[in-house]
Homo-oligomer: A and B are copies of this chain.
């Protein structure tokens, strides 16, 4: 895959408006969302779906899990910040959450 461009300020604002459950990281280079489930099994089932999305989109999250909680951070290292790939993956994650 070729290089992907960082979103412009306007593009970022438009994307965030469509992702109300995601927070822009302080440095503006990533978005994060926290998830809470009933237990580890539910959290893990969700993570499996996200992993499949990530592989299908060839774009991977930075994420952590503590029992029933999952935190996902999306950024595009090749772009040095947020790109359309992050927005696409965030929307797909929202659709399964």
Contacts and interface: CB of A to CB of B under 8 A. Distances in A.
Query: Oligomeric state, in number of copies?
Result: 2
Interface SS majority for chain A: mixed
A41 interface: yes
A58 to B, nearest CB: 9
A85 interface: no
Q: What band does the interface of chain A fall in when counting residues whose beta carbon is under 8 Å from B? A: 10 to 19
A62 B54 contact: no
Nearest to A67: B60
Interface in A21-44: 40-41, 44
A51 B60 contact: no
Interface of A: 40-41, 44, 51, 54-55, 60-67
